[in-house]
Amino acid sequence: MTTGWSNTFYIHTFGCQMNQADSSIMTALLLNEGYSQAENEDEAGIILLNTCAVRENAVDRIENYLQHLQGLKKRRKGLILGITGCIPQYRKEETLGLSGAIDFLAGPDSYRALPFLIEEVRAGRRPSALEFNPAETYEGIDPRRPSSISAFVPVMRGCNNMCAYCVVPFTRGRERSHRFSSVLAEVRKLSSAGYREITLLGQNVNSYSDPGEGRSFAELLGAVSQEAPAARIRFTTSHPKDISEALVRAIAERPNICNHIHLPVQSGSSRVLAQMNRGHSIEEYREKIALIRSVIPRVALSTDIIAGFCGEEESDHQSTLQLLSDIRFDLAYTFFYSTRPGTLAARTLADDVPEEVKKRRLQEIIDLQNSISSEIYQQAVGSVVEVLAESESRRSSAQLMGRTDTNRAVVFERQGHHPGELVDVVITGATSATLTGRPA
Ligand code: 5AD
Ligand code: SF4
């Protein structure tokens, strides 16, 4: 092995929380092999881009970044550039073709091969590790997390759903769940290390099934919440088909499981949902929401919406707006549809909604949701909420930023408090995305 700066690494993470969790796994794997972590890319001899392929603009962002790294590589001889995660897993040749500066590729099931790949590059080769490994859960690796307050804990990887628009089954392979006992062991460690928030992760987290005894996600969530009683427990992302009464009851019964569910709906029209291969109608989605609200009255709900999917008509779009008005989500993550090569939709459906129509519909969805979010947030003014302080606010060290258990962002006057503390905050103001206040 070479020494000095050439063995320091820096990881840029794009995409979802699962990718962030994977970066913590890669960090641990490299540290265990004697590499050291650089503070920033200027000090690194090895730069990894952990990439996301979910939408076209995610891929564009990475392409732009690659151009910057290409320049850096010319100036710094010996710098190694690896592309990891969802883009190379899904498009090997295209990824290698993006830039001659790329030295190696590693997919989401191949991170244990990183030290080997780096050595291969030093031996003059341009290797790729892109095999799916349906048994890989990275058990036994102790992730090196960037925060000592909040931790992501993957409990399952991959996805078996085959939603027509989605690359994930092609980038992350088949579902596999971590062992119940190994999740609990990890949570126990986090709890004794003083973590205040633990988020259980999976592309389809609530389809979790213990590979030993088949225990469900509801059982896992309940057990995790007991293992770390002083931490807030969250989970994401849920699929409507796997929302069970047992899961909803576990959330209601255990005080430290947060009263927030992120439940992507994608469209308010059953016709479009069928085209998307979502596996449920909009009536079934509404029934799940009714179940959740009857058991957890103060629950906060958020969702994902795609505007302009193949074949979407004006009446379908109106159904989506109607759904937003009826359900009144706290928050919606909204996207216009972009074809992902290789997916079911790319192979079988025409991307026939014109771009300007997609963008107009998306804007109408955003405007409506913003006004709903503003109203919901405005109602909190005057109340006292418990906030887990996460960090200093972006604007000033005299303010802290944190979240309520319902996942609402709160910026408040610091008054001697520190990140990691639970603070009762009087809410004095609200926008459509943030509450503001001061300690009660
Ligand atoms: N186009 C637009 N949005 C997409 N999403 C997934 N695939 C696509 C696509 N091809 C959105 C979905 C998903 C979120 C993570 O990204 O709403 O829930
Ligand atoms: Fe992006 Fe999906 Fe991969 Fe996450 S799993 S990084 S959202 S493509």
Asked if the model's pLDDT at residue 360 lies above 50, the reply is yes
Compute the distance from residue 141 Cα to the ligand 2 centre, in Å: 21
| Ligand 2 centre distance from Cα of residue 383 (Å) | 37
Q: What is the pLDDT of residues 8-46, one digit of tens each?
A: 999 999 999 999 999 999 999 999 999 999 999 999 999
Strand 197-201 to strand 150-154: parallel, antiparallel, or no bridges (unpaired)? Answer: parallel
Q: Is residue 429 within 8 Å of residue 437, measured between CB atoms?
A: yes
Q: What are the pLDDT digits (tens) for 314-351? A: 999 999 999 999 999 999 999 999 999 999 999 999 99
Query: Which ligand has its closest atom nearest to the C-alpha of 343?
Result: 1
Ligand 1 touching residue 166 (CB < 6 A): yes
Q: Specify the pLDDT at position 432.
A: 85
Q: How far is the CA of 52 from the centre of ligand 2 (A)?
A: 5
Q: Does the Cβ of 86 fall within 6 Å of ligand 2?
A: yes
pLDDT reading at 381 higher than 50:
yes
Cβ of 407 below 6 Å from ligand 2: no
Is the pLDDT score of 183 beyond 70?
Answer: yes
Position 83 pLDDT exceeds 80: yes
Q: Which ligand is nearest to the CA of 53?
A: 2
Q: Is 111 near ligand 1, meaning CB less than 6 Å away?
A: no
- Least Cα distance to 337 among 323, 322, 355 occurs for 355
Least confident of 57-61, 99-103, 284-288: 57-61
What's the pLDDT band for 1 if we cut at 50, 70, 90?
very low
pLDDT single digits (tens) 39-71 = 999 999 999 999 999 999 888 888 899 999 999
pLDDT tens, 393-423?
999 999 999 999 999 999 999 999 999 999 9
Q: In this model, does residue 303 exceed pLDDT 70?
A: yes
Query: Tens digit of pLDDT for each residue in 214-252?
Result: 999 999 999 999 999 999 999 999 999 999 999 999 999
Cβ 436 vs Cβ 412: under 8 Å: yes
Chain-wide mean pLDDT for the chain? 96
The mean per-residue pLDDT over the stretch 368-389 comes to 97
Residues 6+ apart with CB under 8 A from 222: 250, 253, 254
In this prediction, residue 3 carries a pLDDT of 52
pTM: 0.96
Reference 38, options 84, 6, 77; nearest CA is: 6
Which one of the ligands is nearest to 201 CA? 2
Does pLDDT of 140 surpass 70?
yes
Q: How far is the CA of 338 from the centre of ligand 1 (A)?
A: 8
% of the chain at pLDDT higher than 90: 93
From the CB of 171, is ligand 2 less than 6 Å away? yes
Cα distances (Å, whole numbers) of residue 203 to 182, 238, 326, 397, 411: 19, 8, 27, 35, 30
Q: Please give the distance, rounded to the nearest whole angstrom, from the Cα atom of residue 141 to the centre of ligand 1.
A: 30
Three-class secondary structure of residue 388 per DSSP? strand
Quick check: CB of 16 below 6 Å from ligand 2?
yes
Residue 338 Cβ inside 6 Å of ligand 1? The answer reads yes
For residue 98, how far is its CA from the centre of ligand 2 (angstroms)?
Answer: 19
**Ranges 65-79, 181-195, 328-342: which has the least confidence:** 65-79
107 in contact with ligand 2, CB cutoff 6 A: no
Ligand 1 atom closest to residue 305's alpha carbon, by position in its atom list: 17
CB distance 385 to ligand 2 below 6 Å? no
Retrieve residue 169's tokens.
């089954």
Domains of the chain listed by start with CATH number: 5-129 (3.40.50.12160), 145-258 (3.30.750.210), 285-378 (3.30.750.200), 384-439 (2.40.50.140)
Best mutation site among 156, 172, 262 for ligand 2 pocket (most ligand atoms within 8 Å of CB): 172
pLDDT for position 191 = 98
3 state DSSP class of 65: helix
Nearest-atom number in ligand 2 for the CA of 58 is: 1
**Pairing outcome for strands 434-439 and 80-85:** unpaired
Separation of CA 177 and ligand 1 centre (Å): 23
Helical ranges in 198-264 per DSSP H? 217-227, 245-253
Tokens for 365, please give them.
């969805």
Closest approach atom of ligand 2 to CA 51: 6
Give the residue, by CA position, lying nearest to ligand 2 atom 4.
16
Distance 27 CA to ligand 1 centre (A): 28
Long-range contacts of 111-115 (CB under 8 A, 24+ apart): 111/22, 111/25, 111/26, 111/29, 111/84, 111/138, 112/29, 112/136, 112/138, 114/26, 114/29, 114/30, 114/33, 114/82, 115/29, 115/30, 115/33, 115/35
- Please tell me the least confidently modeled range out of 76-80, 247-251, 364-368, 420-424: 76-80
Centre of ligand 1 to C-alpha 127, Å, is: 30
Q: Residue 2's pLDDT is what?
A: 47
